[in-house]
Structure 1
């Protein structure tokens, strides 16, 4: 039996898994504010699950992870593989939550995905997850019969492509906007800053989107076009013939709240290298996908 956990900024999820299959009836979610440490909530879950015999544990964390330690970025929660192994008498693994989503790709179903583009003919054995949330990064996936391989990558600090930069300059009304890297633009902070520059509104992007502001609806179309530029660049950079999968709160909001059509129009334009095919683009909607990724990992 495996214990899998997805540690987000607000909530932490747990489940039990057998092989690569998460036992859906065992999924539980807890509020982080109710516990002093991740270990406290983990012990609570295991106890309430009847102290099942555990062999391995995999935990995905929304924060920086090295081989043996992880830290949640918005609170003083630290995880250490050696302490996890000792406390639960298991072999443990820590990973970033985006890496976990990479491992989940082969198990994602239509119910957990939103198809954004036409279902282009897949090719090769590679896929890609691109997370636009608090920050930005990608998780390449190589799909193998024995299970996915998820190499590490750092795309957020790559310099912003000229096409996106020029479009931002036009929207912001100045070339001195400070968007130098991919993450500067494609992240929650980047989304909010560009909204303020473009609209001059006194309310933040989240408030405007929640209020279904008409000006925000127009802005979403512009940002969706920028996301399509990014998707074309990622298609050329990673050749994810099995699909590009967006995740994260910003990506989900833009592509489910009016931006999908504008994305499709911009994404359908010819690529810089005409020997590369477009790949299908989807949004991950399944909030438990990281648990499945932990089980697969």
Structure 2
């Protein structure tokens, strides 16, 4: 294991990467005052390894040799070989140092990076869901339905933001309404249970849709989440419309649960491409109703704002904020930072 290192500044230039299950996004931060230089999005399926993706997408396209790398990855970080949860890449920091010329590599959870971003998200980069559009300086939560479902907390204490990574997308989720109890037996479980990620991600939309169709006794027309979503927003298919209504309801319930866990008076922020695509559905009553229906704390939940993150590169923005001023964040680096 690497030797623990305090939150001293990394050496510039710094490669910043947001590695998801489907896409990998990279930028280079030349110094603490420069704007990050962005590179084309890399599709994880197009490269056998993350090393190859960095070489082809970034290093072959610039004369700048990054001295450090901060990579946000979709999966728990443990040991010197870290497999990603939703793609075949394995991150090997020692190999990145030896083969690509980095002096040091810091790994963080992908939703830790999202949490870093919502610490200082500009008003123009968030769309309020509900009447409350004020986000006080207080603890926050970020949820991101995408290829999977990411969850992270952001605790504010002693004038410092402490990101709290986790695997909250894998908590159990269950039926509440009469319609839920009819639909849930037709959902596809994972090892005998329904986790939040089985419903609240791209494949989750398909899972809900097929369950709705099975409950109604009809053959499903769609197999892709994008087709279900587009059809639902157009109102052209009854089952697709109900699918997205249930999706935002379940997302609201989970968001409310996480708000209670973290006492997130600063708000809950929905990140990821799916959230941005379904803003019209999120602005309908179902999301906030699911979010606020937390008796005996309904009055408290009404005071907690909810937002969609509209910044196109929020995770990279969060990592850049940390790279510039690490002292502002209580980011734990022990066991996650390697030096050559």
TM-aligned CA deviation for residue 139 of structure 1: 0.5
2:264 equivalent in structure 1: 240
The residue correspondences of 1:1-297 to structure 2 (distance < 5 A) are 1-18=13-30, 23-44=35-56, 45-52=58-65, 54-73=66-85, 75-86=87-98, 87-119=100-132, 122-123=135-136, 125-143=138-156, 148-160=161-173, 164-167=174-177, 170-171=179-180, 173=182, 176-177=185-186, 180-200=194-214, 201-202=219-220, 203-204=222-223, 206=225, 207-211=227-231, 212=234, 213-215=236-238, 216-254=240-278, 256-262=279-285, 263-269=287-293, 271-273=295-297, 276-277=300-301, 278-295=303-320, 296=322
Distance 1:226 1:243 in 2: 18
Distance 1:175 1:237, change over 3 A: same
Q: Which runs of 5+ in 2 are unaligned?
A: 1-12, 324-340
Distance 2:93 2:274 in 1: 31
Distance 1:153 1:61, change over 3 A: closer
Q: TM-score, structure 2 length as denominator?
A: 0.73
Q: TM-score, structure 1 length as denominator?
A: 0.82
TM-aligned CA deviation for residue 172 of structure 1: 5.8
TM-aligned CA deviation for residue 271 of structure 1: 4.3
Distance 1:184 1:41, change over 3 A: closer
Q: Which runs of 5+ in 1 are unaligned?
A: none
Q: Is the 8 A contact 2:153 2:163 kept in 1?
A: yes
TM-aligned CA deviation for residue 225 of structure 1: 2.3
TM-aligned CA deviation for residue 99 of structure 1: 1.8
Distance 2:268 2:71 in 1: 24
Distance 1:292 1:20, change over 3 A: farther
Q: Deviations over 1:121-153 (max 9, x none)?
A: 545631111122333341011246876321232
